[in-house]
Structure formats: structure tokens, C-alpha cells
Amino acid sequence: MTNPTRVASAAELESVFQQELATDRWAAAETAFALAIQSRDAGDWDKSREWARQCLTLLAGFPSDTEGDVATKRVSVGGVLLPNYLHEGVLRDRFGDFD
């Protein structure tokens, strides 16, 4: 996706996610978060929670002791704004409990 002002489709973001999963798991977590937001905004709560769970699973593989550990590397993914920090608390706040 080369045009930063155009909002990516879910299919485009899912393709990016698959590529990132093999090369950059932190970027994949950010993309999973963007897909969760995009799905939620489209009214698909089940898919949104699936992507949020995927993001949470990926984040579990990273340290989270400092702000630097959980700081997002990008401002947005596919036109979806990311929070400044990405961790379990943010996911639970935006998508509810995963239990």
C-alpha cells in the first residue's frame, strides 16, 4: 500500500498482515490492531474481537515493562490511526474482555 491517504481494504490489510507475520511480528501486531478497529467500525464485532485476540497473542511475545517497549512504531496502518502505546490494557479498553 503506497498511498498513505487512502484507507486500505480489509483484504489489503490482511495481505500485509500475512507478510509482516513472517518478517516483523511487531508490525503484524499493529496491523492486527488496525484490522480489529476497521472490523469494529464496520459493525463486525466477531471479526473485530478475532483480530484483537490475534494482536494480543502477538504482543505476548514482546516485553512490556517500559513505555518504550509498548510504543507503536507507526502512526497509522492502512489509514487506521494507531494509539501511541499498544498493550493488553489498550486492547481490553477498546474491545472488552477476551475471556
pLDDT score, position 97: 84
Which residues in the chain come in under a pLDDT of 50?
A: 1-2
CA-to-CA separations, 85 to 29, 34, 39, 74, in angstroms, rounded: 12, 13, 20, 10
Indicate the pTM of the whole model. Answer: 0.92
pLDDT score, position 5: 61
| Alpha-carbon span 73 to 83, nearest angstrom | 10
pLDDT score, position 85: 98
The 10s digit of each residue's pLDDT in 36-62 is: 999 999 999 999 999 999 999 999 999
Neighbours of 73 (CB within 10 A): 11
